[in-house]
């Protein structure tokens, strides 16, 4: 009888030790770190820089995308890393993306900066001069970075 009690006590002690080492029960009160970060992020405006294109593209269309992506990733690296700015390319010929044409009054391939709050578009701006600057990458980069910076500062 004493051996059975000892064995039962020993098993319970080992189980409690393992349980303690593995961290015990998860906390149930208060938000988790992930929830706290998400809540903090939701309160701040979030920006998305889009390049909208169609299935048919020319050399200039690819240049628009390449230069915009390069500019945004070079000038806004910190904002991208901290989740304040996101870069996305979207083919508006796909059925699930056709709503963007109407939402942003698109008539050609476009670079558009959007401010969102709680997942909803608050405001947006089509950077229409990109087409006129396709012969000068430096002026193109200056235009795109200045427009995005000014747009984000108005928030």
Distance CA 155, CA 150 (A): 9
Give the CATH class of 45-153.
alpha beta
pLDDT score at 155: 79
Structure tokens at 138: 């430096």
pLDDT score at 45: 72
Q: How do the domains of the chain map onto residue ranges? A: 2-36, 45-153
* Burial group, residue 29, by CB count within 10 angstroms (0-12, 13-18, 19+): exposed
Average confidence (pLDDT) per 10 residues, the chain, 155 residues: 54 48 42 42 78 97 97 97 96 98 97 95 97 97 98 92
**DSSP string covering 58-115, please?**
-HHHHHHHHHHHHHHHHH-HHHHHTTSEEEEEEETTSGGGTHHHHHTT-SSSEEEEEE
- What sign results for the dihedral spanned by CA atoms 123, 98, 64, 118? positive
pLDDT score at 36: 41
Distance CA 16, CA 32 (A): 25
Structure tokens at 25: 């029960």
Close Cβ partners of 45 (under 8 Å, ≥ 6 residues apart): 84, 115, 116, 117, 122, 152, 155
Structure tokens at 14: 């080992």
pLDDT score at 33: 39
């Amino acid at each position: 009888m004493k051996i059975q009690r000892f064995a039962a006590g020993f098993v319970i002690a080992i189980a409690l030790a393992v349980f303690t080492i593995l961290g015990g029960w998860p906390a149930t009160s208060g938000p988790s770190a992930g929830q706290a970060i998400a809540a903090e992020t939701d309160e701040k405006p979030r920006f998305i820089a889009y390049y909208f294109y169609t299935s048919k593209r020319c050399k200039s269309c690819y240049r628009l995308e390449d230069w915009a992506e390069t500019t945004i990733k070079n000038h806004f690296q910190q904002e991208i890393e901290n989740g304040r700015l996101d870069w996305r390319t979207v083919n508006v010929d796909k059925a699930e993306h056709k709503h963007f044409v109407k939402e942003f009054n698109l008539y050609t391939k476009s670079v558009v900066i959007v401010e969102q709050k709680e997942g909803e578009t608050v405001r947006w701006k089509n950077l229409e001069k990109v087409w006129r600057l396709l012969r000068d990458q430096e002026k193109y980069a200056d235009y795109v970075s200045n427009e995005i910076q000014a747009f984000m500062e108005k928030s």
